[in-house]
Amino acid sequence: MDPRAVLPTTLETADILSGQIFRQFGLPEDIISDRGPQFTSPVWKELLGYQLPLYPCNALTSDQPVVERQCRQSKWTWEETHQRLSKAIATYKSQSYAT
């Protein structure tokens, strides 16, 4: 089986992003998803404290005011978000879950 054909789980995606991408490059200004289960899971809401906005496939610009409003309403700085994300991922990874 081609290893690229198997999508990572939500936890694996969060681990890759925090352990490799965010650590090396810092937090992104935007995360745009294809609505895959790795990004729509409740894990993201738990990690970030809010659900990532889900963009319609062909109407990115129609959601721009919604995203801007969410950003203005957010009281977290990137530093606080990074700290919360790192802590949440570490906590989640330390718990045992039945598969």
Question: 48-86 burial string, b = 16+ CB within 10 Å, else e?
Answer: beeebeebeeeeeeeeeeeeeeeeeeeeeeeeebbeebe
- pLDDT of 58 reads 45
Q: Is 19 strand, coil or helix? A: helix
Per residue in 45-74, pLDDT tens?
666 666 666 555 444 455 566 666 666 666
Q: Is 50 strand, coil or helix? A: coil
pTM of the model: 0.37
Pairwise CA distance, residues 96 & 89, whole Å: 13
